[in-house]
Amino acid sequence: MKSIVVVISAVLFVAASTVSCAQESGYKNDDFAIKNVKVTHNTDLAVTVWEINVTGNAGKTQPKKAGQLDGAPVLGYVFPTTLKPTDVGFSMTDGIVALALTSHPDFDDTPLWDENSDNIFDNDGIIWHPHWVVLHKDERVAGGLSVKQIKKDDKTVVLPPTNPGMPMYMDSPGYPVVTKKNTIKVIVPDYRINNKTDFNYDGVAAFMKVNTSKQNLPMLGVYEVFSVASGNLSLPYKVQ
């Protein structure tokens, strides 16, 4: 796992370093300029509080609607971690387990959760919400990473029961996400991460895009890295 972290860290570092030369999305602004990242363990409540602080207003910038799933834009504040896939309900696989806080107006991938409380469960993809994903190196996209895909008929793969039904290592865990001024936060119960509170992590702001038509591209790839908390994605931060 450590060697995988090093390889993917190098990929993201290169992507973040060259992003100014190839701005794919047009969304790069202070709302995605990370100042610091922090995960704090609250022993009394048995939860961890994950937060990213930015120069601008966290979560204010949201994607513009594309009008279809293919090519749909996704913006994300992402916490790459040293957690194992099995800690968050996946079967074991190579890659980096990350908690991604995302917004995307063209589709809703949290069918169990009604984030805007209107009693309609499939219309609130634009509201910032969490996903567990497994990232792996992918040179087909400018950001160098994509969410790891699976074959639909692969019975060896285990996904959490809260997964949205997409053929990827992705889960929609339903944790509460709050944006306020320059901070975006999410609360994760200890038992939902196998009671792990000693992992390392980093913070990344990125632009992603859905693909359903081109076989030579990933289903969900990272196309632009806006900022990295550590500067080199070395995952240096530890839970406080």
Mean pLDDT of the chain: 91
Domain with 95 in it: 2-238
Top pLDDT among 114 and 190 is at 190
* Residue 30 buriedness (CB in 10 A; 0-12 / 13-18 / 19+): middle
* Reported confidence tier of residue 22, pLDDT bands at 50, 70, 90: very low
DSSP conformational letter for 168: B
* Residue 152 buriedness (CB in 10 A; 0-12 / 13-18 / 19+): exposed
Predicted confidence at residue 19, as pLDDT, reads 42
Asked if residue 46 has pLDDT above 80, the reply is yes
Sheet order of strands, 34-42 included: 34-42, 47-54, 183-189, 177-180
DSSP conformational letter for 148: P
| Residue 4 CA neighbour count, 13 Å, CB half | 17
Let me know: does 150 contact 157? Beta carbons within 8 Å: yes
Determine the Cα–Cα distance for residues 133 and 102; give it in Å rounded to an integer. Answer: 11
Determine the Cα–Cα distance for residues 151 and 2; give it in Å rounded to an integer. Answer: 26
* Reported confidence tier of residue 8, pLDDT bands at 50, 70, 90: low
Top pLDDT among 155 and 50 is at 50
Nearest to 81 by CA among 8, 16, 157, 15: 8
Predicted confidence at residue 24, as pLDDT, reads 60
User: pTM value?
Assistant: 0.91
Q: What is the pLDDT of residues 85-113, one digit of tens each?
A: 999 999 999 999 999 999 999 999 999 98
Predicted confidence at residue 25, as pLDDT, reads 67
Number of domains the chain is built from = 1
* Reported confidence tier of residue 211, pLDDT bands at 50, 70, 90: very high
Q: Between the CA of residue 38 and those of 5, 49, 154, 217, 233, what are the distances in Å? A: 19, 8, 36, 33, 14
Q: What is the pLDDT of residues 148-197, one digit of tens each?
A: 999 888 889 999 999 999 999 999 999 999 999 999 999 999 999 999 99
Nearest to 205 by CA among 24, 35, 76: 76
